[in-house]
């Protein structure tokens, strides 16, 4: 088959990817968009298989069967609360694919029949133009090096992110020297990359690059804590796209470049949205700690004698006479698997003719859009999920706000306490509502480690206990009254 036909089909696949992402701009067209994108993928794969360069199907069939089974199993069995873990793993595999493709491309030019590891380390005699004539060869080598670097960082970084989200790694720790250790790893990787470009015949430099980049990914993500994971996942998503686009430069493949750069920008934009929603720079999330400036706020001083607690049936009585209720979910709702219980409570409230909406903070949960997916799973219509900027002006006319499993994103210190670590972070202004109900296990601080003056306000009631249980009890009490 002529390469022009193959490239025309790749162009067609690229158009389908673009239409697919365009479909994702509206919930009503999103399913169809995803289908279009999948068809684009199928077309690109089929035309590649028909390509005369592909002759040996043993490894392909084995890989497709194995990978397909793993992918389908994960996709169909994963719980919606575990979606951040799933996306983290998918990012990692994307990085792994780019890493292995770039390495395969390098070793196919080297063309060594390695019988043992030491065979790999021996330098080979290589034609000066083995990777392409002059500058073209250098560009190919730079692309191979960068793809390996970004692909490997994405692979191990995502695996660490997965382990943290899954609760397999609980501690946050980094290299001694923190960012300095990471900087040394990065400089080492860049040095290996330069060596590869200057003298590509030494396979040992490629192996060194792979090792340094894998370590770098590990130590970049190990120090980062749970609530910052939305940023990390979005950034790794961007890396996996970037690595794919770079692999496109190695192979001279247009569809890889188009698809890879779309994914790269998508991840970057999400990263930026997440950083803005936390009022922190990317550098601060990756390398910094939450600034511990300003006077230390004493939790006891804020809470002492001012916190009012309530039982679920008291909340039910309050809900009965309300006209408008807003539910604010956070990661705690996911932890308690309370999304279905919350929807049942909302149904019960609505059956009394009371308006119910959900206020969603951009960084609620562990990844962008986490709360929306959970509530969609519980069959909450998506037009009831209202984003921060649109819900904030409505709190003053809201009779009851129910905060379930959210803390820092409702902390009024972000608005008022200049010098506080979270000062300037956009929050949901739930304290402006007439009554606030906070469902929480205890008064323990959120990720920022700060007390929340909201809990001590006169119009705030604390309902202590398991989120799901408390919500179910409220629903029961409301239905009985």
Size of the site for another protein (CB under 8 A): 120
Buried/exposed code over 301-329 (b: 16+ C-beta within 10 A; e: otherwise): ebbeeeeeebebeebbebbeebebbbbbb
Instruction: Give, as ranges, the residues between 31 and 50 that touch another protein (CB under 8 A).
Output: 31, 33-35, 37-38, 41, 44-45, 48-49
Instruction: Give, as ranges, the residues between 333 and 362 that touch another protein (CB under 8 A).
Output: 360, 362
Q: Which is nearer to another protein, 224 or 375 (CB)?
A: 375
Stretch that binds another protein, among 24-32, 164-172, 312-320, 471-479 (CB under 8 A): 24-32
2, 4, 55, 167: which one binds another protein (CB under 8 A): 55
125, 135, 292, 296: which one binds another protein (CB under 8 A): 135
Stretch that binds another protein, among 104-112, 175-183, 220-228, 322-330 (CB under 8 A): 104-112
Asked if 7 interacts with another protein (CB under 8 A), we say: no
Asked if 287 interacts with another protein (CB under 8 A), we say: no
Could you tell me the smallest distance in angstroms from the CB atom of residue 14 to another protein?
A: 8
Catalytic-residue membership of 347: no
Single out the catalytic residue among 298, 408, 431, 458.
Answer: 408
Could you tell me the smallest distance in angstroms from the CB atom of residue 45 to another protein?
A: 6
Q: Which is nearer to another protein, 363 or 413 (CB)?
A: 363
Q: Which is nearer to another protein, 25 or 293 (CB)?
A: 25
Asked if 377 interacts with another protein (CB under 8 A), we say: yes
Burial class for 233, CB neighbours closer than 10 Å (0-12, 13-18, 19+): buried
x/- contact string, 422-461, with another protein (CB under 8 A)? ----------------------------------------
1, 5, 15, 75: which one binds another protein (CB under 8 A): 75
Stretch that binds another protein, among 179-187, 260-268, 339-347, 454-462 (CB under 8 A): 260-268
70, 121, 122, 180: which one binds another protein (CB under 8 A): 70
Q: Which is nearer to another protein, 81 or 420 (CB)?
A: 81
Could you tell me the smallest distance in angstroms from the CB atom of residue 425 to another protein?
A: 17
Which residues does the annotation mark as catalytic? 408
């Amino acid at each position: 088959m002529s390469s022009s036909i193959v490239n025309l089909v790749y162009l067609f696949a690229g158009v389908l990817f673009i239409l697919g992402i365009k479909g994702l701009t509206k919930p009503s067209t999103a399913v169809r968009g995803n289908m279009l994108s999948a068809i684009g993928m199928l077309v690109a794969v089929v035309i590649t298989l028909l390509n005369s360069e592909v002759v040996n199907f043993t490894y392909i069939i084995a890989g497709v069967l194995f990978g397909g089974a793993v992918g389908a199993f994960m996709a169909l069995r994963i719980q919606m609360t575990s979606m951040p873990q799933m996306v983290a793993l998918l990012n990692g595999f994307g990085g792994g694919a780019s890493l292995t493709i770039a390495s395969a491309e390098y070793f196919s030019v080297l063309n060594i029949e390695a019988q043992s590891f030491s065979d790999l380390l021996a330098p080979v005699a290589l034609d000066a133009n083995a990777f392409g004539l002059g500058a073209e060869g250098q560009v190919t080598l730079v692309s191979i090096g960068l793809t390996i670097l970004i692909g490997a960082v994405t692979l191990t970084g995502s695996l660490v992110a997965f382990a943290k989200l899954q609760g397999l790694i609980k501690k946050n720790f980094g290299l001694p020297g923190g960012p300095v250790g990471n900087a040394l790893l990065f400089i080492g990787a860049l040095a290996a990359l330069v060596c590869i470009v200057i003298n590509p015949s030494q396979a040992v430099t490629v192996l060194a690059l792979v090792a340094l980049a894998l370590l770098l990914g590990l130590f970049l993500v190990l120090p980062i804590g749970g609530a910052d994971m939305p940023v990390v996942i979005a950034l790794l998503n961007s890396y996996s796209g970037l690595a794919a686009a770079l692999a496109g430069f190695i192979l001279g493949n247009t569809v890889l470049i188009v698809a890879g750069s779309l994914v790269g920008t998508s991840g970057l934009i999400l990263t930026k949205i997440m950083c803005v929603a936390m009022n922190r720079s990317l550098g601060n999330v990756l390398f910094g700690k939450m600034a511990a400036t300003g006077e230390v706020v004493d939790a006891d001083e804020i809470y002492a004698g001012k916190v009012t607690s309530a039982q679920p049936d008291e909340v039910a009585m309050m809900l009965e006479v309300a006209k408008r209720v807003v539910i604010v979910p956070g990661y705690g709702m996911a932890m308690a698997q309370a999304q279905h219980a919350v929807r049942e409570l909302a149904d019960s409230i609505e059956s009394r003719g009371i308006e119910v909406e959900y206020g969603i903070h951009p960084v609620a949960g562990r990844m962008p859009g986490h709360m929306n997916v959970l509530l969609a799973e519980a069959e909450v219509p998506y037009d009831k999920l209202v984003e921060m900027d649109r819900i904030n002006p409505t709190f003053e006319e809201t009779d009851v706000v129910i905060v379930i499993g959210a803390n820092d994103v409702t902390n009024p210190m972000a608005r008022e306490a200049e010098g506080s670590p979270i000062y300037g972070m956009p929050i949901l202004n739930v304290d402006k509502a007439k009554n606030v109900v906070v469902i929480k296990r205890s008064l323990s601080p959120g990720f920022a480690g700060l007390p929340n003056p909201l809990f001590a306000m006169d119009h705030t009631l604390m309902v202590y206990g398991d989120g799901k249980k408390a919500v179910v009890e409220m629903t029961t009490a409301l239905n009985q009254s």
